[in-house]
Structure formats: C-alpha cells, structure tokens
Structure 1
C-alpha cells in the first residue's frame, strides 16, 4: 500500500472514529455522495437483520420506513445547511417490522462528500412512549407546554417559534378535501424534519401550525417549500398566501409558568389573527413587541390585584320568604376616588392564564372578611366566583382545599359560583373538585348560565346546587315570545335535576313577579340592592304588591 493510500485510510478511520464517538450510538453508517452505505459498524445485524457486508451499497432510503421517507429527505437538506443533526426520532425497517430509532448525523470538513449517520435504539421512557401524534390537532395549551419543555431542555441554543396560518378554509381554496389532508401530512413531515428534536411541531386545533426550530430555518423558506409541495399535489394550484410569524422564545428571564402563559397568549393572538398592526410582513417584530407588552400587562395585573383589590357585596334574595339568602362577593379595583369593575382585567387574566391568581386573591380576602365580619353581618353567607380555568387547575385547587380545611368553621357560610366565560372541556375533572367543595359543606352554583362557552352540557356533567340564569334571558322574557317558555323550561329542568335557579338583572317588581311565576326561586339585581362594600346594615324593603305585568313587545 502506498504512503498516500495509507494516509487516506488512516484519515478515513479517524473520521469514522470521530463520527462514531460523537454520539455514542449503536450503529454507524457512512454514506457516499450518492447516499449509499459505504461502511457500517456496530450492532448492524441486530438492528437491520443483515450482515454489515450485505449492507454496503444499499441506498439509505431503502433502510427507512415509507412513513418517514419525506422527513429523511428534509433531514438531509437540513444536515447540508447545519452540518449536524442530534437525536431525531425516525422509523427504520427492522427484522420484525418498523422500528423507531434515534438518528444523529455529522458532516466533517475533511470528508465533505461523506455523510456519517449514527443510530441507536430508544432507551428508558422514550422507548416505552408511543410516537408523538404531531399530525393530530392539539389545543394551544398542550402545544405551548411541549414548546416550553423543549426550550427548557436546552436542545437548541437559539429557539425560535414560527406560527403559520394554514387553516382548512385556506387549503380548501387550493385542493379538494380528499387531497388536502394528505398534503397536510406531508407539510407536517417537512416541518418535523426542521423542528427541535424532530417532534417540536404542532397542528393547532383550528388548523394553524406551529414549529419550534433553530436559526437555520426561516419563515420564507417554509412558505416557499409549502407552495413547492402544493404543486406536486396539483400542478395547476394557485400559490397559498401563507401568513407567518416568528418570535425568539429563549425565555431565560421568565419562570416556567410565565413562559407557558406567554406562549399561550402569543399563539391565541395568532389564531385569532390579532397581529400587531395590519401588516403581516412586519408580524415578527410585532410579536416580539407583543411578548414584551404582555409581560408588562402581567406585572400591572399582579400589582393591581396585590394592592388595589377590594370586594363589594350584592344580595341574592329568596323570593318565597323575602329574605336575603346570601351575598355575592364581587371583585373591584380601588382607584382612590371610585371602585372599578375589573372586566377587562379579568378577560386578560383568563386569556393569559393568570386568572387563578386573582381567584385566589379574592378567596383569601373573602376569608378575611368572614373571619372578622367586616362589612357583613355575623352569620351571613357569601358566594365567591371561580373561573372555569381555576376549577381545572390542579395547583389552584390544592391551595384552595388547603385554605378551606384551615377555615373549617367558615365553610357553612360559603358558596362558590363557577363562571362560564372559559369553557371547561374536562368536565369530569371539574366535577371532582365541585364534589369536594359540596362534601365540605359549600354549595356550588353555575354562574351566568347560557351566556358562556357551554350550557346544557354543564347541567348534565356537573353536580351543583344552583343555576344562575344569565340576565339576557331575563330581559328576553319581556321582549321575545320565546323568552318566557325558555325560562320556564330551564327552571323545570333544573328542578328535575335537584337544582334551584337564580335570576339575574332583576330591575323592577314586574321582573321579580315573573321569576316567581316561572318557578325561579331566587333573584339578584338592583331592585333588591346595589353592590356595596358594607352590607352589615342592609335590609330589604317591603315586598311590593303585584301589578299588571309588562307584555311581550316583540315576536
């Protein structure tokens, strides 16, 4: 062997050693410039059921499962751009069928025409976990949690999140329905190849897409590739106008909780099309600004709740006995010269995911008022509002139950109203905490029934004592012909389920008498009393006589 040949042999051996050592995997595959195996080592026969010598000359595509062929192609494109891939799950053909392996790869400067792949069987929890269903639509919260975990894992130094507006309606304009789903599967395979860990991609439940990636990919690349793929499915298809946003999301200055909430808030804004300004060309800068603005709002929210939160009380009256049954505790912000209803603040808190903090602050303040009987008669009962988000938040519920256990003597004076503004999708889980509250002696009410995200499914799934009918239905009883029958039906259904009804927005005696006529036992509204910080001396006026009721004025 000539000296030059020996040098080349040693250089090749050195490169193979480096390639094998950099990942410490089970099998090393060396690919030539045509993508065929030129050398292999390790537990080749156990992994592929073939001897190393029989694998030489085999195209690497012949080793990969059909389901991941497109992803392999994109991984090779990514490798040529970045020179390295780390631990990407991929399906390969094995002796007993498809097997999910971890793929790493490297290109070395001294051998530019050679690609080194290392493969290993997944071990530990990863080996037992099923392949992630990245093509299945997921909720924004779930995808945000995945993104947060990947950012914290340190898998990538410069994590970026790109969101794509690729909804079913937009696809329907370009492809027939039977081909649109196949196209979306291909798009997801493409994005997986560029995503962090090979699974840092999500199809949000409205059809939008999100991908967590490093700086080697940009949104223009994605738009071009997606439209190139579209022409494969339909050469005559018009290009899709893909709106996209990319934001850097290292999150080093955020707690895990705030990072998750910031991601959810950003993705929700994108899903609704609420960019900063109207120019989607500048959307990336807009989202960076939005993230900073959001964190500023969170700080303002926490400051307001910590320093300015106060409670006022409005009576709920038993219409049969004409007695105050209990008071609803309503949150207000003290601005110095007046009390402000924090409707916008609550909306932001629910959207960003910090409403649990407000609910807990109200809870603690209410317990203090009951303990000291400040602004309320001794023995009087109060109802405390809980957001649907809080009811399904494990940490909030654990803290709530602990507080109640420490205040056991106050439990007979407490009720809880669950608001409908946020839909509770896991009703069985929500019902568990409501049952715990009722078992402790606290009555439970569904607030604003009919106004929020769900109505009758709540009656079916949640075990509660009261249903508070939204005021819009009370008003309809005087302005639409279906209003009274609808109210009567709700009251009858609640009664059959063992629940009692509360009518909101009782502004006059006609409304009060209407509620009694329809079988609604309790009323709340300015007719009985406005919210006040001190109701310790509150008394109801005498029950008014029955006048001729207003007639329905609209069909």
Structure 2
C-alpha cells in the first residue's frame, strides 16, 4: 500500500512539474494556491504583474491582488475548476502600487485534489485576442459588468472566427431571471450592487474565454459557452444566490433556452450581421421570426440558419425572384389615379406569403436592405420601360429604406441605374421609408438632391410618427409626404383631429410639399382628410395592391 501511495504521489508531483515547465513556456508567472486560495509558491515575473517579489507572496490571499471588478469572476472560475479539473484561459487585471492596474493578464490553470486540493495557476501579460477596433468599441452594463447587446454580438463573432481552426462547437444560452427587475428595485443599493456583480460573475465564468456573456434586457442574459457547461446547475446556483439576497427569502425563477452557435465557413462580415440578428431573434421569440422553409420553428443552429436565410434572400433579390404589386394613390377630391406605390412580395418554399414588414426588418438587421432596394429599382425601371413601349405612362413610387441612404455604394449604384434608364425616369418616384432611422441626415440630403437632378420626385413616408420626421423635412428637399395612417385613424376619434391634420397639411403646403393620406379605408376617413386639405389619398377604399395595374383603368387609357 505504501508503495502505491508513494507511486501515486510521485506521479502527481511529476504532473505538477510538467505543468510548471509548460506554464513557463506559455506564461510569465506560476502560482500554486491552497484550498483557501492563498499563495504557497510563486515563481516568475511577479513584480511586473502583482507588484511584489515572489518571496514576498507566500501566505497571501491571491484574491486580494485582483482588481475588485475581477474578484467575483476569478472566484467563480476557480470554483468551476474544482469540478472540471482545469480553468480555461480568461483575462484579468491586478492591483498595483499607486492605485494603478496591471495590463490585461491571461490566466489559466488546473486543480489537483490529490495534492492537497491545490490550484496551479499560470499568468502572462496578455495580447488582447480581440481586434483593437472591437476591443475599443465594447460597452458594458455598469451593474453586472456584462457586455451590452451589440458588444456581445461583436465578441461572439470574434470568438466564433477564432475557434474555427480548432473545430470547436459552441452553444448560446438565453437565461431569463423572471421578476428579477422588481426584486432589484426593492433591494438596498449595496445589496443590489453585490447581487448584480454576482450574476455577472456566474455568467462570465462559464462563457467562452470568461468574457463572452452579455445583458440583453432587465431580466435577460446571454452567453456563448462550451457544450459541456451544466446550464441546469448554473440556473440553480443563480437562483440560490438571488434567494439568499432577497430580503423576503423567496427569490425568483430562472429559465434558460439553449441553441447551437457554430459558424462553419461564414465570411466574417456576414457572420457579424448574422450573429446580431440571431441574438435579437432568439431574445424576442426564442426562434426565428423571418423564415424561408429552412427557418420554420426552432432553429437547430441559429447562426448557420440565419446565414442560410441571408444567402437565400440575397440570391432571390439579386436574381429578381420576387413579385411586385401596385397600389393606387389618388388625387382628392375626385379620386383620379395619380401614381402607384410598388410593393414587394416574397413567398417561402411552401408558397406562403412572408409579411413584408417582417422581410424588411430582417433585411435591415442583416444589412442587406440596400440589395433589395436596388433590385426593386432595377425591376421597376425595366417595368416602366416596358409600359412605355405599350403607350402606358403609369408613374410608380419605389420604396427606399432610410438605412440604404446611409450606404454610399448603394447611392452610387442608383445614380448609375439612372444614367442607363433616363427614358424611364419621368415615371419614377422614390419613397423614403423610416423603418430604420437615417443617421447622417446631411449626407442623405445630398444624395436626394442628386436623385432629384434626374427629375425623380421624392416622397417621405410615415410623416408624423416621430420627431425625426420634422428634421428630415427641414433638411431634405422633397416633393411629397405621407401622413401615417394610424395618426389619421386616431384623428377620427377626437374633435381635435381635424385641426391636428390641417396643421400638418398647412405646414407642408407652406414649404411647397404635397401631402398624401395613408390607409384610408372608410368614407369617414376620406371626408376627414379631404376637409383637412390633403392632396392625395391611398388605401383599400380606393384600391388594394394588384399585380396587374390595368384593373384600375377606366377608359383603358391611364389618366394623370
């Protein structure tokens, strides 16, 4: 028996020595910690990292050297190491003299229960694995120390790209702490801060590289992690932590949803867009809301399936594999057709119509809406030319997302299209939609001015839905505005409605802009907008979107 014990002890010491040798190849400082996380051995460049010589570290608590914000994270990581036997590489910082912090330090190691429950930790001054641009742009939730939504998507993208060489697979967990926000509001500030820091530490400690976790709402959190992370156990630990902090001792319910997050060979630019969209959709409904047939229901791998949808969407758009329908806009009060708004129609592989708003939202979030807008322009310029060949001079308004106006390549492509189709431009209008806010109004105004030089009239959609509309109206040279249909509907319910609408119309008329009323569906709404002085109206009262515009001809000749 003594021989067996001696042999086992020798084996463990050899393993420790091998780790020490390898650690010095990899790192700058090796520490051995006892079960209470006190330093029992130190060798290496401790002066530059911890601010003390190796011989001065013995018996001191390792945790005390850590910067305060990293103590919960490291404590939890070491607890995880007790179970897993090792600790993945994480980045931390240490306190140094004169209230200075050390540079970022990479920390890894493992736990040997047969050697006195000791930890063996290797430290090295880290070269940040994230690109400088990404690292500099990261934003965190102050309470938990976790990344915000967009920052999390950036880091997840970087981690997925970095892990391709290893063939690693990842899971993404959305964790909901039900009724967490009301509980925090009831707590004292100090206790609330401690609880928030603890929740953040739990999630970071189990995430890839110890820092791929984020706060996605007041009660929702997300993290990218290895498949073997015990989510059920993590749920219980967080629930216990919250219950202990709850003054009533009741606590909350913690629930999780897990999906695959593997990147395969997705190009980095597309991957970045797909990751953010995937996280948002997973948070919104825990599944994709925009689907072709591949994305029906819960996705097996959210990122890969998002990318499949992006590829499908891009192919259909670039090859003009979509339908268009036309809805009339009529002049008031005689209801004579003035022009048509052209609307896109996509169908999934089962022939089911995909709601247009859902489609546009998807395209904007994955930064592909400019491809749709350009495809619609290509298709309709050809359509106008074909109509002119038949002696039909129908004017059409093509929707352009405000998001697209912020893309110089898109705007230059529009100019190139106009140059090639000058004969059709007299029948073309552009309708600027505000599903995505225009971030650079001055630049957008310059491009709109260029478009108008070709004789193309411009309409601003959904005017009146937000303060930004008024900024657009003052900065951009436009010809028409559309008053949001919901504003008109609400105006029919109050005695002040007519005065409100008339004031909007008068404002527009004062600057030589004509006004269109949207979503007119009843005679009462038509009467209201006519009295308010609207120039045009659109809605089911005058006609639904149709693929064949000749359905609206009265004398088989289009009247302007």
TM-score, scaled to structure 1 = 0.76
Q: Which residue of 1 aligns with 2:38?
A: 36
Secondary structure (helix, strand or coil) at the match of 1:166 reads strand
Q: Which residue of 1 aligns with 2:291?
A: none
The whole-number CA distance in structure 1 between the counterparts of 2:490 and 2:230 is: 53
Q: Is the 8 A contact 1:311 1:329 kept in 2?
A: yes
The whole-number CA distance in structure 2 between the counterparts of 1:376 and 1:418 is: 29
Alpha-carbon distance, 1:376 to partner: 7.9
Q: Is the 8 A contact 1:504 1:525 kept in 2?
A: yes
Alignment partner of 1:152 is 2:161: yes
Alignment partner of 1:490 is 2:504: yes
Alignment partner of 1:16 is 2:20: yes
Alpha-carbon distance, 1:229 to partner: 1.6
Q: Deviations over 1:484-536 (max 9, x none)?
A: 22312322344466643211245688866653442322333466665454558
Q: Is the 8 A contact 1:175 1:234 kept in 2?
A: no
Q: Which residue of 2 aligns with 1:134?
A: 140
The whole-number CA distance in structure 2 between the counterparts of 1:346 and 1:84 is: 48
Q: Is the 8 A contact 1:266 1:287 kept in 2?
A: no
Alignment partner of 1:192 is 2:204: yes
Gaps of 5+ in 2: 1-6, 289-296, 556-560
Alpha-carbon distance, 1:538 to partner: 7.0
Specify which of 148, 164, 170 is matched with residue 175 of structure 2. 164
**Aligned ranges for residues 95-494 of structure 1 at < 5 Å?**
95-96=97-98, 97-107=100-110, 113-122=118-127, 129=135, 132-135=138-141, 140=149, 143-154=152-163, 157-166=168-177, 169-173=179-183, 176-177=186-187, 178=189, 179-180=191-192, 182-234=194-246, 236-252=248-264, 263-264=275-276, 266-273=278-285, 286=298, 288=300, 306=319, 309-319=322-332, 325-332=338-345, 342=353, 344-348=355-359, 350-351=361-362, 353=365, 356=369, 357-373=371-387, 381-387=395-401, 390=404, 394=407, 398-408=409-419, 409=422, 413-420=427-434, 422-424=435-437, 427-429=438-440, 432-433=443-444, 435-441=446-452, 442-449=456-463, 454-461=465-472, 463-464=475-476, 465=478, 466-476=480-490, 478=492, 480-494=494-508
| Cα pair distance change 1:385/1:117, threshold 3 Å | same
Count of residues in Structure 1 that have an aligned counterpart in Structure 2: 515
| Cα pair distance change 1:365/1:341, threshold 3 Å | farther
Q: Deviations over 1:227-257 (max 9, x none)?
A: 2222442364213111211112113265656
Report the more deviating stretch, 110-119 or 224-233.
Answer: 110-119
Gaps of 5+ in 1: 277-284, 542-555
Q: Is the 8 A contact 2:103 2:125 kept in 1?
A: no
Q: Deviations over 1:75-120 (max 9, x none)?
A: 1123333444444221211234123422222227696734122221
Secondary structure (helix, strand or coil) at the match of 1:487 reads helix
Q: Is the 8 A contact 1:32 1:115 kept in 2?
A: no
The whole-number CA distance in structure 1 between the counterparts of 2:352 and 2:15 is: 75
Q: Is the 8 A contact 1:391 1:430 kept in 2?
A: no
Alpha-carbon distance, 1:214 to partner: 1.1
The whole-number CA distance in structure 1 between the counterparts of 2:41 and 2:101 is: 23
| Cα pair distance change 1:533/1:34, threshold 3 Å | closer
Report the more deviating stretch, 372-381 or 223-232.
Answer: 372-381
Q: Is the 8 A contact 1:504 1:523 kept in 2?
A: yes
The whole-number CA distance in structure 1 between the counterparts of 2:29 and 2:137 is: 21
The whole-number CA distance in structure 2 between the counterparts of 1:32 and 1:252 is: 41
Q: Deviations over 1:209-232 (max 9, x none)?
A: 101111342221221111222244
| Cα pair distance change 1:13/1:270, threshold 3 Å | closer
| Cα pair distance change 1:19/1:400, threshold 3 Å | same
Q: Is the 8 A contact 1:15 1:108 kept in 2?
A: no
Q: Which residue of 1 aligns with 2:4?
A: none
Q: Which residue of 1 aligns with 2:514?
A: 500
Alpha-carbon distance, 1:74 to partner: 0.8
The whole-number CA distance in structure 1 between the counterparts of 2:128 and 2:347 is: 57
| Cα pair distance change 1:103/1:114, threshold 3 Å | same
| Cα pair distance change 1:314/1:243, threshold 3 Å | same
Q: Deviations over 1:304-336 (max 9, x none)?
A: 76575233334434549987654322224699x
Report the more deviating stretch, 239-248 or 518-527.
Answer: 518-527
Q: Is the 8 A contact 2:93 2:101 kept in 1?
A: yes
Secondary structure (helix, strand or coil) at the match of 1:437 reads helix
TM-score, scaled to structure 2 = 0.76
